[in-house]
Amino acid sequence: MNRRDLDTYRDLYANGGSNGSLLDIWDKITNILEESGLDCEIAEELGLHLTEWIRTTWGGVILSERHIGDPLPAKQKPQSDAETMDLITTPVAAHDPLTGSRFAALRDQAIKLISQTPPFEKGGPGGISDIALEIVQAVRRDYRGSYIPRIVKLDQLKRDREIWLSGNTCAQMEQLAQKHGISLVRAYQINRAYQQQRDRLEQPILPGV
């Protein structure tokens, strides 16, 4: 992903409503990743991937610690002396600090993406789980109760980019049209329009113009 693509996301995030919450989340995640030892450009791109996961998964909702459908905490039952002794001698599973399934899902996604990013894919630096948990706790602490915007225009931009990058044959164009629920003619129109836009952006400025 090049600088122009990252700037496009920044512009759309900034104009996507909710006072730029997605842009703030992106910057916060990027800062945490940089502090963990990642190069700034890699951290920014990885931060965008996580922010996009938040937007596409949570878009249109208000973040909350627990939401409808989450299982309620199990009630504690009285224990006999014998059961108490068993608890003393039996190792207890590590406590999960995330009580809402929504934030636990973000942690799992963060672990997945971080572990695929050099140099973490080779086991360093730092603990992947600790970094993921720090990211989730920052989002939960600073944005709980905030509305996460959908930004429909960004979904259309991603669709158009995928059609332009992947539509190299007639068969691929047919698959992309079916995937996105559009006609084959519309898929070709999107491909051509995106290419024309890229050509205009990449055309060098002539002397004297």
| Cβ atoms within 10 Å, residue 22 | 28
> Which pLDDT belongs to residue 153?
80
> Which pLDDT belongs to residue 99?
57
CB-CB contact of 99 with 66 (8 Å): yes
CA-based nearest residue to 147, from 15, 16, 11: 16
CA-based nearest residue to 54, from 184, 185, 166, 146: 146
CA-based nearest residue to 18, from 64, 68, 66, 63: 63
> Which pLDDT belongs to residue 132?
94
pLDDT (tens place) for every residue of the chain, 209 residues total: 778 778 878 888 887 766 678 999 999 999 999 998 899 999 999 999 999 999 999 988 888 765 445 455 444 444 444 443 443 343 444 444 555 688 889 999 999 999 988 877 655 555 899 999 999 999 999 988 888 888 878 888 778 878 888 888 888 899 989 988 989 998 999 888 878 877 765 655 545 54
Burial class (CB in 10 A: 0-12, 13-18, 19+), 106: buried
> Which pLDDT belongs to residue 114?
92
Measured CA to CA, the distance from residue 113 to residue 187 in angstroms comes to 30
What is the residue-wise DSSP string for 72-139?
A: PPPPP----HHHHHHHHHSPPPPPPS--SHHHHHHHHHHHHHHHTSTTGGGT-SS-HHHHHHHHHHHH
Measured CA to CA, the distance from residue 39 to residue 202 in angstroms comes to 27
> Which pLDDT belongs to residue 161?
79
> Which pLDDT belongs to residue 134?
94
Q: Which two tokens stand for residue 170?
A: 């007639």
